[in-house]
Amino acid sequence: MNLRLVCLRQRVIALCLTTLSASVAWAIEAGAPAPEVNLPGVKDAISLAGLKGKVVYVDFWASWCGPCKQSFPFMNELQSKYRAQGFEIVAINLDVKRDDADKFLAEVPAQFNVAFDAKGDSARRFEVKGMPSSYLIGRDGKVVVAHKGFKEEDRKDLEARITQALASK
């Protein structure tokens, strides 16, 4: 396969993406009230209403998504570091098969709330535009940051936004 073919394919993909993005609404933005989430967790049900008054970091992930896997150690670190200040992570799994999620969790331990949404209704409500997607929700229940994807270099900025949100009442 030569470069020209790759270019052609990328052009086709770009075209597909533009038509795709034209047909759907843009993702939820900072300042918008966070949609309600009420989903089964590993043990108990997890709802955002039950975490009111806390700073919540909602993360959408799936077992097949590489960057999601990269973000798990980061989220473990955040949860243990800021729990005492009223910080909770809710990682919503969007795998169609629960088995896939369980296998992933056996391999990559999660020391934070994990919820399961095989139908993806919550992702639709949050208007998720990429995997992983994360939303930082302030104590007032409003979205502070909507973040797409995960790279190692995103760590610093995300953590700064979290400490900022924890500091504000």
Chain contacts with another protein (rule: CB under 8 A): 1, 3, 6, 9-10, 13, 16-17, 19-20, 23, 60, 62-67, 94-96, 100, 120, 123-124, 128-133, 148-151
What interhelical angle do 155-167 and 66-82 show, nearest 10? Answer: 40
| Choice between 37 and 128, CB closer to another protein | 128
Min dist. Cβ of residue 65 to another protein (A): 6
Taking Cα atoms as reference points, which of 42, 60, 25 lies closest to residue 135? Answer: 60
| Choice between 41 and 67, CB closer to another protein | 67
Q: Residues 84, 145, 142, 108: is their CA dihedral positive or negative?
A: negative
Is 134:57 a contact under the CB 8 Å cutoff?
yes
Round to whole Å and give the CA distance between 99 and 107: 13
Min dist. Cβ of residue 140 to another protein (A): 27
Min dist. Cβ of residue 91 to another protein (A): 13
The DSSP call for residue 50 is G
| Choice between 83 and 129, CB closer to another protein | 129
